[in-house]
Amino acid sequence: MLHKVFQRAATQNPKRVFVCDGDRRITYAEALNMVCEAKNSLPVTEGVYYFHLRKALDIMIPLIALDWMQCRSCVLSSEFNSGEILEIQREIGAGIVFSEDTDLWVTSDVAAIPRLLHYKSSEVGVEPVGVAGEGAIQRGMIIILTTGTTGAPKPVLYDWDTLVSQIRSTNTGEDFRNWLLIYPLNHFAGIQQLLHAVVNADTITVPKSRNFEDVFEALLRQEVDSISATPTFWRFFLGRMSKENSRAVDLKQVTLGGEASTQNLLDQLKDCFPHAKIVQVYATTEIGSSFSVNDGKAGFPRDYLKRPVGNVELKVVNDELYVKSPKRMLGYLGKQLDGQRDTNWFPSGDLVEVTDDRVFFLGRKSEIINVGGVKVHPQKVERVILKVSGVENVRVKGSANPIMGQIVVAEVMALQDTDRGELILAIEEQCNRELSRYEIPRDIKIVEGVEKRNEKITRR
């Protein structure tokens, strides 16, 4: 399905730029030729094709080719080491690993695919994991690993048809977009970004890195008009945007996903990009892309719990959001599947607070801090701290305590030129005003950065 959509985009818009990567500007027609070349050059295996690559284009082209070949793919984080990759292969199955890191794999089986990449064969002595009683992963599938921010990554199985069907065509006439690629392609949102661009024949611009200077240069140099990223990224980006810089950027769309957004962040984005449409997307690797909100308010309307929203239905059970979707994952790899997509209610793991007209996210069930038997939601505490002027980002977590079981700890990133002593006092005052005594952080640390994975705060 992916390759058919790509062929259609290349046929209808051959001169449209598909990828901007530094000085390289590759049109859809040129990219289609590369896909065909890869299809004819890729080695054949009954296992899984793993991608451990840093360059997005080196992943996109063969992914499309492998769908055409009806093969199985899995994109790995470029930050994984050889031990982590080996562990994932033991869980998923043997196959071929694409990597530019010549130190990772010792093998004589090396072949060059012109203009694309090098591949190395890695046999780990295991067979592909069986699902649905068929003894092997179905062909033409993609395995997407969960981000691992709250636990070990889980392998999730999708077919390309389902992923493509989640994408809504937004182009009318010549209204093409140029999207900055912030999400890595091993992330569900990164795959969604690729599919959104292909379905709408949009352009993907790849920055040299996610450092502010490289992102800002790509925005100006390639005339990017749309960005989809996590709230963590947007806080980092806005924390370094001067008024002069903001006047030089005119975005059409700002999309947030992967984490709950706060009202003050949405207000800051609207102030910085007054002409942009601001969209919050709710999606998980397991459930897929579910719904979006573009009214500029944190959370989502309570009315969504009373009616179908797009392709999904929503309900709240014991403060946890449940989703019913016909376009969710086939299942976790290795778990028994019945051959049909499970359309029952799926627990999202996200805790919510329902008010008179709004539903707000409180965080993941696995993140709850137990303070003397009282449940504390880290994201509620973070929302309060993020209101304080001078705070760029914050991570709230629990720390073991012999008396209370756990206490609340806040790791705070300060904006440049902020007095740290005054900032801590301001945070303490804000927390004392808005939080219960159990929720108030007992330890506030000023840190240079919070741990992230795939542009999301790590909470393991």
CA quadruple 6, 8, 12, 18: dihedral, nearest 10: 0
Residue 255 near residue 281, CB atoms below 8 Å = yes
* Segments of 150-273 assigned E as strands: 155-159, 178-181, 203-206, 226-229, 253-256
Cα separations in angstroms, 447 against 407, 423, 451, 452: 18, 12, 10, 13
Measured distance CA(296)–CA(267) in Å, rounded:
8
Parallel, antiparallel or unpaired: strands 253-256 and 155-159: unpaired
Please name each of the domains of the chain with its CATH number.
1-364 (3.40.50.12780), 368-457 (3.30.300.30)
How much is the pLDDT for 426?
95
How much is the pLDDT for 128?
38
How much is the pLDDT for 176?
85
How much is the pLDDT for 331?
82
Residue 388 near residue 395, CB atoms below 8 Å = no
Name the strand (E) or helix (H) holding 265.
Answer: helix 263-272
Residue 344 near residue 375, CB atoms below 8 Å = no
What are the helix and strand counts (H, E) for the chain? 12, 28
3-state secondary structure (DSSP) of residue 174? coil
Measured distance CA(339)–CA(80) in Å, rounded:
32
Q: Which two tokens stand for residue 126?
A: 């295991």
Q: Which residue from 266, 338, 323 is spatially nearest to 296, judged by alpha carbons?
A: 266
Parallel, antiparallel or unpaired: strands 277-284 and 253-256: parallel
3-state secondary structure (DSSP) of residue 243? helix
How much is the pLDDT for 460?
59
* Segments of 60-113 assigned E as strands: 72-75, 95-99, 110-113
DSSP string covering 313-376:
EEEEETTEEEEE-TTS-SEETTS---SS---S-EEEEEEEEE-SSEEEEEEEGGG-EEETTEEE
Parallel, antiparallel or unpaired: strands 48-52 and 72-75: parallel
How much is the pLDDT for 95?
80
Residue 398 near residue 442, CB atoms below 8 Å = no
User: Along the 460 residues of the chain, how does pLDDT read in single tens digits?
Assistant: 899 999 999 999 999 999 999 888 999 999 999 999 888 888 777 788 889 888 898 899 999 999 998 888 999 988 888 788 888 888 888 788 888 765 554 332 333 332 333 333 333 333 333 333 333 445 678 999 987 655 678 899 998 988 998 888 776 666 789 999 999 999 999 999 999 999 999 999 999 998 999 999 999 999 999 999 999 899 989 988 888 888 888 899 999 998 889 999 999 999 999 999 999 999 999 988 899 999 999 999 999 999 999 889 999 999 999 999 888 888 887 654 444 455 688 999 899 999 989 999 988 888 889 998 888 988 889 989 999 999 998 999 888 988 888 999 999 999 888 999 999 999 999 999 999 999 999 999 999 887 776 667 776 5
Contacts of 3 (CB under 8 A, 6+ apart): 35, 64, 65, 67, 68
